[in-house]
Structure 1
Amino acid sequence: MQAKTIKARIYSIRRGSIGYSRDAIIIVPGIETANDAAKFLNAKVVWKSRTGTEIVGSVLRVWGKHGQLLVRFRRGLPGQALGDIVDLIL
């Protein structure tokens, strides 16, 4: 069985008084509610840089009421990742 891949966009990093460089908030096109976003829990997320390096993470929970997702990556994301496309693997 082949895994389904969906394109999503990194919207922001998680903000707080301590640094959350590993946590990012992503938006999936077409998902407008928290109930629709709940089907992506525990999905794998891959960010690919222009040089070919990959940073892998997973979806922790739904963020807010409008279908954003909180993703924790294994390594911290660089600032260039904001606004980039990620692969959401189901």
Structure 2
Amino acid sequence: MQARSVRARIYSIRRGSIGYARDAIVIVPGVETVMDAAKFVGARAVWRSRTGAEIIGSVLKVWGKHGQLLVRFRRGLPGQALGDYVDLIMK
């Protein structure tokens, strides 16, 4: 069985008083409802830098009412990752 991959854009980091450098909010093109976004929960997320380094994470839950996703990465994302793409690998 092949894994399906979808490209999503990193919209923002999770905001808060203690800081969440590992948590990112991503938007999948064409997904605008909570029901559509729920299909991606549990997917693996991979961000690749221009030098070839990878930071791996997973989709935790749906964020908000318009289909955004909360992704937690194993390491903190650099600032250059904002606005960049992440690959969501469905199982």
- Whether these two folds match at TM > 0.5 is yes
Name the % identity.
79
Inter-partner Cα distance in structure 1 for 2:72 and 2:83: 16
Inter-partner Cα distance in structure 2 for 1:10 and 1:58: 13
How many residues get paired? 90
Q: Which runs of 4+ in 1 moved over 6 A?
A: none
SS at 2:20 equivalent: coil
TM-score by length of 1: 0.99
SS at 1:39 equivalent: helix
Structure 1: unaligned runs, 5 residues or longer:
none
Structure 2 equivalent of residue 28 of structure 1 = 28
TM-score by length of 2: 0.98
Structure 2: unaligned runs, 5 residues or longer:
none
Note the aligned Cα RMSD (angstroms). 0.4
Whichever structure has more strand as a proportion of its residues is 2
